[in-house]
Structure 1
Amino acid sequence: MDASVEAALRKWPSVPACRGWLGLDARGDWYLRDDACQAAGRFPQPKGSRLEHAGLIAFIGRNYAVDADGAWFFQNGPQRVYVELEAAPWVLGVQAGPDGGWIVQTHTGLDAGPVRQAWSDEQGRLFLDTPLGLGLVRSADMHAAADALEAGRWPLAEIRHAALLQAHGLCLSPQAAASGA
């Protein structure tokens, strides 16, 4: 977490959390969701306005974390901004590595570490369990991920998406959870 964020938390420890205003889609893109967008429906339909400012995206990525209830948030100074997730908290890029292995990185640019397990859900999406947690493989990187699976490098199982989220203690919609929906 950025030092400026930690200082703001010490200075203003009781700022109310914000819910529903930020979303992360299955491609690893962040979306700002204003009142009108939120009133039109739950994330990801409609998504909202895609964030494009590189500095803001990097700041969100550096200050992205999970709470004890499995809800992901971006710590924006003293305010916790909960994130509406389309499929998983991490969106993963997969590339063949120079040593014959595979490089797995998050949408925030972190090295995800070695893959412990792979799952395919009822929609055919591929999820990986890494030391950072559960992530969805970007559709653009499915070819490299398929090569890893075919090489027997990652154990693969089938699972329903809801069961996968439950097994990992994840909350896709902190706004819905807070409202009891």
Structure 2
Amino acid sequence: MTTSDILPPWPQVPACYGWLSLDRRGGWRLRGEPVEHGGLLAFLNHNYRSDGGDWFVQNGPQRVFVSLAYTPLVLRLQTDGRITTHTGADAGAARTVHVDDEGNVLVLTEAGIGLVDDRDLPDFIGECRLADGEPAEVEAVLAGEGVSWRGLPLRAIARAEVAGHYRFRPDPQA
């Protein structure tokens, strides 16, 4: 006997679109208003996932799809060198680093692609190095060439190409 033999199936409920969003700093918004309730924040962070293209919060049998201000993850640089996501999860090792045409920094981690929280950009730039090992100036980082971060070369990418390149939909629709 399996669990599915004992428990009734979940009811069929429609997916929810346009209610939940993620801002550029990793803040949840419900119908445009910031979510501040600790219990709700914990629930959203715990149940946030992807089906391979769309990002959503699993709410029992219902999927509440998330509109993204940019990327599905917002990354935070920790003082011990770790990278965490806006949900508080460890993002794992960095694999690729991009600077887009608007000066945003994106890092592909084991958890997925994420925008570096703008409050962490000074620390990010402080870790950037030129080919000769000297610290990189902001202008060199923004140019995205000849600069590395934690041993990974910075690569330029157009903001308009990020979602397609990393295969996610910023604004899921029914």
**TM-score, structure 1 length as denominator?**
0.77
Provide the secondary structure at the position in 2 that maps to 1:96: coil
Contact 1:116 1:155 (C-alpha < 8 Å) held by counterparts = no
Distance 1:126 1:14, change over 3 A: same
Provide the secondary structure at the position in 1 that maps to 2:94: coil
| Structure 1 residue 145, shift from structure 2 partner | 1.5
Structure 1 stretches of 4+ with a deviation exceeding 2 A read: 147-152
Distance of 1:174 and 1:79 partners within structure 2: 15
Structure 1 unaligned blocks of 5 or more = 1-8, 34-47
Name which of 87, 90, 102 aligns with 1:108.
87
Match of 2:139 in 1: none
> Whose strand fraction is larger, Structure 1's or Structure 2's?
2
Match of 2:119 in 1: 140
Structure 2 unaligned blocks of 5 or more = 1-6, 134-147
Q: How many residues are matched?
A: 149
Distance of 1:15 and 1:63 partners within structure 2: 17
Provide the secondary structure at the position in 1 that maps to 2:128: helix
Match of 1:55 in 2: 39
Distance of 2:91 and 2:102 partners within structure 1: 23
Name which of 94, 100, 117 aligns with 1:121.
100
Name which of 4, 18, 27 aligns with 1:29.
27
Contact 1:95 1:144 (C-alpha < 8 Å) held by counterparts = no
Contact 1:20 1:82 (C-alpha < 8 Å) held by counterparts = yes
Name which of 83, 87, 94 aligns with 2:70.
87
| Structure 1 residue 147, shift from structure 2 partner | 2.5
Distance of 2:21 and 2:153 partners within structure 1: 30
Query: Kindly, what percent of the aligned residue pairs are identical?
Result: 45
Q: Say yes or no: does 1:66 pair with 2:50.
A: yes
Larger radius of gyration: 2
- Deviations 1:1-46, CA, capped at 9 Å, x for gaps: xxxxxxxx9642521100000000001110111xxxxxxxxxxxxx
Name which of 162, 167, 170 aligns with 1:169.
167
**TM-score, structure 2 length as denominator?**
0.80
Distance of 1:88 and 1:137 partners within structure 2: 10
Question: Which amino acid in structure 2 is aligned with residue 57 of structure 1?
Answer: L
Provide the secondary structure at the position in 1 that maps to 2:24: coil
